[in-house]
Amino acid sequence: MIDPVFLRQLDQFKLAMKKKTSSIYKGSEQSRETGRGLTFKDFREYSPGDDIRYIDWKVYAREEKFYIKTFEEERDMTIHIILDASQSMDFGDPLKYEYAAKLGLGVVYLACKNNQKFEFSIFSDKFEALESTQAILRIIDRLNSKKPKGQTNIGDTLADYNKKIKSKSLIIIISDFLFDIQNLETVLLNLKRNDIMLIQVLDEKERQLAYSGDSILKDSETQALLHTYISQRLKSKYADELQTHIKRIENTCRKLNIGFLTTTNNVPFFESFFEVFKML
């Protein structure tokens, strides 16, 4: 159960968030062509009175008409929180789902304090939008009413989600990312016109494979059973393969200039959230 009390403690980040945003504003005021303040949006036909510095001469050479570049301010970007609510997130103490949800809620709480727009959504085998207003408590109620279920289908669900994003946005995807990385790479390439962050939440038992001897393992999403003997050698091999999997995600993010954070649900929440905050 997600208790909204933790939100009050996030006010310590509010002033720092304001300073971050102010520095971006200042940069956009100093220069209308460079820096983080503005980002290219589209072209429109020139009208008398428009700033001739924004005429695109390459377009003129093709069309023999004057077109100017239009921009949108990055400070007005919508923040999209996309939370994995598949069956694999229903694991751990606290549940990975609840820990991950709190990280997303922390971001939108600060967004509200800063009068930024946001959308909060969940996905498993399908996508579901929860809220796009400043009603944080209503989002928490809806998250608490949901039980993680279904298989992860990040490819199709986020391909559909991408169609609804009309302008450059900040997209934060929170998941355990325990699925085929090839699907993830395709999704990220489709979303690359946006600023993107990936936050991976794992349980400590998943990192260490905290079982030994004769065991029956159950896939939480497909319900498939595996009878096996867990030896120290198998644990070591599992840890190596998990680390390789995480490294592939990290390398993909580095290649695409995407922020990536991996954490576990036994890390004190505010320690993890501070790492998220530094990436905003």
Domain ranges for the chain, please list them.
Answer: 4-14+75-279
Structural tokens at position 268: 């004190």
For a pLDDT cut of 90, what percent of the chain falls above it?
A: 38
For 4-14+75-279, which CATH superfamily applies? Answer: von Willebrand factor, type A domain (3.40.50.410)
Over residues 190-203, the mean pLDDT reads 93
- Residue 102's contacts (CB-CB under 8 Å, 6 or more residues apart) are 2, 6, 269, 273
Distance CA 81, CA 172 (A): 5
Q: Please provide the DSSP assignment of 23-83 as one string.
A: HHHHHHHH-SSSSSSEEEEEEEE--TTS-GGGB-HHHHHHHSS-EEEEEEEGGGPPEEEEE
Segment 158-179 shows an average pLDDT of 88
3-state secondary structure of 202: strand
Q: How far is CA 238 from CA 150, 158, 182, in A?
A: 24, 29, 20
pTM: 0.77
Mean pLDDT of the 231-235 span: 84
**Residue 15 confidence (pLDDT) above 60:** no
Quick one: pLDDT at residue 25?
A: 36
What does the pLDDT average to over 245-258?
A: 94
Q: Which stretch of 48-57, 89-98, 151-160 has the lowest confidence by average pLDDT?
A: 48-57
Yes or no: say if 150 and 161 are a contact pair by the CB < 8 Å rule: no
Q: How distant is the alpha carbon of residue 34 from its chain centre?
A: 26
pLDDT of 121 reads 94
Residue 21 confidence (pLDDT) = 45
Give pLDDT, residue 156.
83
Mean pLDDT of 146-154: 89
Return the CA Rg of the chain.
Answer: 22
